[in-house]
């Protein structure tokens, strides 16, 4: 499979990345080289192979659903780029 400029634009949009024309061209070339290399995996027949979801035999980890303290709001807001009334301020979501 190969990837074209249009695919790169689509993927960049999904990933919320703005790319310059130069970046789009460079990534098209580089991703094509990487994906071409990844085609190597198709040499292997994996029809009867289970995918690895975890390297260790670990099951779901459960705990009691109890109320516990979390970070206090003042601490959480310390790294906020913009804050108002103890909340993260963002630009308008709807026009």
- By CB under 8 A, name the binding residues for other proteins: 1, 3, 7-8, 11-12, 14-19, 23, 27, 30-31, 33-35, 37-38, 40-44, 46, 49-56, 58, 61, 63, 71, 75-76, 78-82, 88, 90-93, 95
Q: CB 72 → other proteins: shortest distance, Å?
A: 9
Q: Are residues 94 and 81 in contact, defined by beta-carbon separation less than 8 angstroms?
A: no
Q: Which is nearer to other proteins, 46 or 67 (CB)?
A: 46
Q: Are residues 31 and 3 in contact, defined by beta-carbon separation less than 8 angstroms?
A: yes
Eight-class DSSP state of 51: P
């Amino acid at each position: 499979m190969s990837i074209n400029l249009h695919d790169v634009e689509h993927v960049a949009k999904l990933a919320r990345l703005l790319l310059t024309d130069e970046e789009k061209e460079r990534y098209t070339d580089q991703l094509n080289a990487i994906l071409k290399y990844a085609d190597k995996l198709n040499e292997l027949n994996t029809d009867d192979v289970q995918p690895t979801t975890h390297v260790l035999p670990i099951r779901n980890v459960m705990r009691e659903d109890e109320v516990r303290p979390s970070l206090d709001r003042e601490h959480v807001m310390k790294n906020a780029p913009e804050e108002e009334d103890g909340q993260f301020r963002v630009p308008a979501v709807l026009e």
